[in-house]
Amino acid sequence: MKIRQDAWSHEDDVLLAESVLTHIKEGSTQLKAFDEVGDALNRTSAACGFRWNAVVRQKHLKHIDQAKRERKERKRMLSSSYFPAFERPRQQTTYSFKREKAMNETISVDSIIEQLQQLSNQKMGNSDLQVENEKLRNDLQKVTSKLNELQHLVARNKQEHSMIEEDYQSLITIMNRARRMSILEDHADSQDDFRMETNGSLEKLDK
List, for residues 25-51, the tens digit of each pLDDT value. Answer: 998 899 999 999 999 999 999 999 999
Amino acid at 123: K
Burial of 23 (0-12, 13-18, 19+ CB in 10 A): buried
Average pLDDT over residues 133-143: 82
**Confidence (pLDDT) at 153:** 82
- Is the model's pLDDT at 187 over the cut of 80? no
**Confidence (pLDDT) at 75:** 86
What CA–CA distance (Å, rounded) separates 12 from 51?
10
- Is the model's pLDDT at 184 over the cut of 70? no
- A 10 A CB-CB count for 41 gives 19
19 closest CA partner among 5, 9, 8, 29: 29
pTM of the model: 0.38
Number of H helices, E strands in the chain: 5, 2
Please report which confidence band the pLDDT of residue 207 belongs to, taking 50, 70 and 90 as the band edges: low
- Is the model's pLDDT at 166 over the cut of 90? no
- A 10 A CB-CB count for 103 gives 15
List of residues 6+ apart from 61 with CB closer than 8 A? none
Residue 203: φ, ψ to 5° = -125, 125
Please report which confidence band the pLDDT of residue 155 belongs to, taking 50, 70 and 90 as the band edges: confident
Burial of 106 (0-12, 13-18, 19+ CB in 10 A): middle
What CA–CA distance (Å, rounded) separates 51 from 46?
9
Q: Which of 70-74, 85-89, 117-121 has the lowest mean pLDDT?
A: 85-89
- A 10 A CB-CB count for 48 gives 31
- Is the model's pLDDT at 139 over the cut of 90? no
Work out the mean pLDDT of the chain and round it to a whole number: 76
User: Sign (positive/negative) of CA torsion 50, 51, 57, 63?
Assistant: negative
Average pLDDT over residues 134-156: 82
**Confidence (pLDDT) at 5:** 59
Q: Is pLDDT larger for residue 177 or for residue 67?
A: 67
Break the chain into its structural domains and give their ranges: 10-134, 144-205
Query: Residue 191 gets which letter from DSSP?
Result: S
**Confidence (pLDDT) at 117:** 74
Average pLDDT over residues 184-190: 60
Q: Is the Cβ–Cβ distance between 12 and 55 less than 8 Å?
A: no
Q: Is the Cβ–Cβ distance between 5 and 47 less than 8 Å?
A: yes
List the end-to-end C-alpha distance of the chain, in Å, as a whole number: 122
- A 10 A CB-CB count for 40 gives 13
